[in-house]
């Protein structure tokens, strides 16, 4: 058994502080690792866990990441090359959390997803 | 006491996998939070903890972040507006880990630090 990477005191500290943060509901564009599975932030995990639905470019790839970090939320495909947007936005409601992730990196930097973001901005449900 | 943000099984998994990663010694430019303390990755914490010295733009600001994440490494100021570079590079040796952090965000994107990075590239000690 290896030494614990994070002490129990630190985890307690993070758990307490992250759960009392003033997040706002909406759609979050969440950055995921590009090559190293540990290139993901505490806040990314926190927001993904709070999400009612996680929209992903490739649900098979993303499921591996979510499984590793024990994030048991529904994954829905949201890519450019088919007409999923109408079905996707039908599932979005105000006052809930949603995440958009791409295969790797930050959604919309060089990936699909901007149509969903645009829709959410127009409908006042897009967040940071 | 709040629910644990990360389960003990997940922490054990992260501890084991992150400690057996094939990192290479050198200088790492490590991204730190811009506004939310939880916007930091597991790998950032791992590399900061392995660093013989952490070079920082503002050591007082950075100390708060390092204290929160229980990173007990020497902090050395490395900013643009004085002539610290000769003293700084005197402390850098091959086959050791070093980190460069800025006040917030990724070093060198819009912060000082490029002179140290350049020196390390020339002397073959710069990394990702």
Distance between CA atoms of B67 and A13, rounded to whole angstroms?
12
Q: What is the pLDDT, as a whole number, of residue B8?
A: 87
Distance between CA atoms of B52 and A123, rounded to whole angstroms?
49
Question: Which of A1-5, A63-67, B72-76 is predicted with the least confidence, judged by mean pLDDT?
Answer: A1-5
Contacts of B69 in chain A (CB under 8 A): 10
Distance from CA of B6 to the nearest CA of A (A): 7
Contact residues of A toward B, CB < 8 A? 1-7, 9-19, 21, 36-43, 45-46, 68-70
Question: Which of A96-100, A124-128, B7-11, B37-41 is predicted with the least confidence, judged by mean pLDDT?
Answer: A124-128
Task: Give the Å distances, CA to CA, from A31 to B5, B7, B56, B118.
Answer: 19, 22, 25, 28
Q: Which of the pair, B109 or B107, is modelled with greater confidence?
A: B107
CB contact under 8 A, A16 and B6: no
Q: What is the pLDDT, as a whole number, of residue A72?
A: 95
Place A3 in a pLDDT band, splitting at 50, 70 and 90: low
Check whether B67 has a pLDDT greater than 70: yes
Q: SS3 for A31? A: coil
Global pTM exceeds 0.80: yes
Check whether A52 has a pLDDT greater than 90: yes
Q: Which of the pair, B123 or B27, is modelled with greater confidence?
A: B27
Q: Which residue of A has its CA nearest to B7?
A: A70
Contacts of A4 in chain B (CB under 8 A): 11-12, 15
Place B104 in a pLDDT band, splitting at 50, 70 and 90: low
Among B10, B34, B42, B104, the residue to mutate for chain A (most A Cβ within 10 A): B42
Nearest 10 degrees: CA dihedral of B69, B73, B78, B82? 120
CB contact under 8 A, A6 and B6: yes
For the question of an ipTM over 0.90, the answer is no
Place B21 in a pLDDT band, splitting at 50, 70 and 90: confident
Task: Give the Å distances, CA to CA, from B80 to A43, A61, A92.
Answer: 31, 42, 47
C-alpha of A10 from chain center: 23
B43 by Cβ neighbours in 10 Å (0-12 / 13-18 / 19+) ranks as: buried
Please check whether residue A53 is in contact with residue A100, taking contact to mean a CB–CB distance below 8 angstroms.
no
Q: With pLDDT > 90 as the criterion, what percentage of chain B qualifies?
A: 30
Check whether B58 has a pLDDT greater than 90: no
Q: SS3 for B83? A: coil
Q: What is the pLDDT, as a whole number, of residue B44?
A: 94
CB contact under 8 A, B42 and A46: no
Q: SS3 for B77? A: strand
Q: What is the pLDDT, as a whole number, of residue B1?
A: 43
User: How large is the average pLDDT for residues A14-34?
Assistant: 88
């Amino acid at each position: 058994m290896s030494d614990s990477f994070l002490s129990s005191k630190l985890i307690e500290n993070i758990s307490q502080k992250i759960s009392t943060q003033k997040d706002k509901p909406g759609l979050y564009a969440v950055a995921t690792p590009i090559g190293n599975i540990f290139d993901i932030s505490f806040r990314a995990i926190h927001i993904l866990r709070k999400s009612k639905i996680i929209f992903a470019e490739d649900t098979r790839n993303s499921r591996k990441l979510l499984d590793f970090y024990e994030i048991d939320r529904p994954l829905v495909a949201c890519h450019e090359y088919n007409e999923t947007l109408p079905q996707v936005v039908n599932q979005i409601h105000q006052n809930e959390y949603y995440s958009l992730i791409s295969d790797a990196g930050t959604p919309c930097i060089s990936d699909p997803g901007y149509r969903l973001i645009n829709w959410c901005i127009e409908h006042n449900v897009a967040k940071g």
